[in-house]
Each structure stands twice: as C-alpha cells, then as structure tokens.
Amino acid sequence: MIFFSLLAALAIEHARPLRRPLRHYEYFVQFASLLREKLDGGEQLHGAIAWCIGVLPIVFLVWAIGDWLAGLNFLLGWAWGVGVLYLTMGLRYYSRIAQDIAAKLRAGQLDAARAALRDWRGADADALTAGEVASATIESLFLSSHRQTFGVLFWFVLLGPAGAVLFRLASVLSWRWREASPPFSGAADKIFHALNWLPLRLTALTYAVAGNFEDALYCWRTQMQAWPETEETLALAAGAGAMGVKLGKPLTVGGQWQARGEIGLGDEPDADQIDSAISMIWRGLAAWLVLAMLFMLAGWAA
C-alpha cells in the first residue's frame, strides 16, 4: 500500500499544494521556541528532555490515531497515513518557491529573487549576485527534497505515518535549535544524525540514479568533506554531480564572506539549472514510485 499512499499524497498535493503560511509548522516552531526558552540550561540532558517532550507525544498521538482508525476500517487507517504524508512531505511547496525564483531571475528581477530566497531560507540574501542566488536556491532544493521528501518517505515506509512525523519533527528541532547553547542543541543534533544517516545516503543515491550516476558517485566520494560542518554535504555533492552544476562557492551574507568548498562539476548555476534540479528531484521521486510498485507487485505474486 506504500505505492498507493504515495500516489494519493502526490495527487492531493497536485490539486491542493501546501501554501504559506504552514500553520502546523508555525505552531510547532513556536512550541519548539518555548521549550528552548524554558529548558535550555546549558546541559545536554536538558536538550534530550526538551526533545522528548517536543517529539514523542506527537509521534505517539499520530500512531494511536492511525491504529484506532485502522481498527475501525482499513481505508480510514490508510487515509490517515495519506493525510500525514501530504502534510509532512510538501514537494510542490518548495519546488514552486524555487520555480518562482528562477522566473524572477530570467526576468531580470534580481531584488525580487533575493527577497523570495530570503523568505525561504530565513537568511540575508541582499548582497547575492544572480549566480549566487541560483546556487543557494539549488542547494536549498537539494536539502529540502531530502528533509521534506526522501527522508520522510524512508521513515514512512519503515514506521508508517508516525515515522514520517518523527523524522520531520527531529529535522525541525535540529534546525531550529542551532542557536541554542551547544550542549542543549547537541542532543537534537545527535538524535537527528542517527535518524538521518541511512536516509541521507539513500537521497544521494536517488540523485545519482536520477542524473549522471558516475559523476554523482565521484562527487560523493571526493567532495563530501567540502563543508565539514554540514552533514548533508554528501547529498549536496551527489546532487550537484548528478546534474552537472558547480555549487558551494563563497557567498556574501550580511556583508561578510562565507568561505565554502566548491562541490559538483560542470556548469555555473543559473535559472535554467534551478529548473533542472527540480526535474531531477521529480525523476528521483518517480524512481521511488516505481520501486514501491515493484515491491507491491512482488508481494501480490508471492
């Protein structure tokens, strides 16, 4: 049923794509900020306790509702899973933002493209050149497709709707608690690292399958240490290699240079490369759909 769940979630998102503001996301971010404010005492134990308070009750509630609905009727349980997947995945949500940035770059509306990127990433983009805007957009696409699509799908396949919610909440806390004290944020980072280790590599492999396999593996092997502080550089390097684009050049943020190693191969990033990145992500998702269908057919034939 994984195949039909994914197909149904994509169909719903096509008909009614998620739009800003994402109320369920905003409410959780506010809750996460409150937990940090009240419990950040500079100890890793405090971070672990806050993480458990923020994540486990929601995950348990999602599982309990799904189990109850499935007990009433199989289709109700399935529909619950589809709804959870729709709210946690959001592929069209972030791909539409990237398409809008690409359209603005083509029209020469650099300031508007910078503003759209700033709203999406939550970071200053006022001094970025057109190429830097394109590069940052592609990087955000790759990271969003992992955290909001392929990583979610992995845990949905493994644990159902509760798994999808577990991964997304862990991802949000790891991102949102970056500015907390290192011991406090360290707990969320370690938990997300454990949940993210295998899905991250499957995302990189997905990019390789959807693009240039050889170049993706080359960049995976040789460039994943380009940004030692960024765990997801692995997926970025594989994605850049798969689509043949150079990413990771230094960016001017807030008037200061951020030195970053170059990743990828081939062309310089531009608006057309943004569209190519979106197409590659969709091809990767199609590969997951085909794989899910094959497993389903194998199960029926057994």
* Per-domain boundaries in the chain: 2-301
Q: What is the pLDDT of residues 113-167, one digit of tens each?
A: 999 998 888 777 777 888 889 998 999 999 999 999 999 999 999 999 999 999 9
Tell me how far apart the alpha carbons of residues 254 and 257 are, in angstroms, rounded to a whole number: 8
Q: What is the DSSP string of 82-114?
A: HHHHHHHH-HHHHHHHHHHHHHHHHTT-HHHHH
Question: What are phi and psi for residue 48, nearest 5 degrees?
Answer: -65, -40
The residues with which 252 forms a beta bridge, in sequence order, are 257
Q: Which of 33-37, 89-93, 102-106, 250-254 has the lowest mean pLDDT?
A: 250-254
- Mapped onto helix, strand or coil, the DSSP state of residue 135 is helix
Q: What is the pLDDT of residues 51-70, one digit of tens each?
A: 999 999 999 999 999 999 99
C-beta separation of 39 from 50 below 8 A: yes
| Enclosing H/E stretch for 297 | helix 271-301
pLDDT given for residue 273 in this prediction:
93
Tell me how far apart the alpha carbons of residues 230 and 85 are, in angstroms, rounded to a whole number: 27
Q: Specify the residue for token string 């960016």.
A: 251
Q: How many CA atoms lie within 13 A of 258 on its CB side?
A: 17
The answer for residues whose C-beta is within 8 angstroms of residue 149's C-beta and 6 or more apart is 89, 90, 91, 281, 285
Total count of residues recorded for the chain: 302
Tell me how far apart the alpha carbons of residues 218 and 105 are, in angstroms, rounded to a whole number: 30
Q: What is the pLDDT of residues 79-110, one digit of tens each?
A: 999 999 999 988 888 899 999 999 999 999 99
pTM (predicted TM-score): 0.91
pLDDT given for residue 228 in this prediction:
60
The residues with which 257 forms a beta bridge, in sequence order, are 252
Q: Which of 23-27, 81-85, 103-107, 230-234 has the lowest mean pLDDT?
A: 230-234
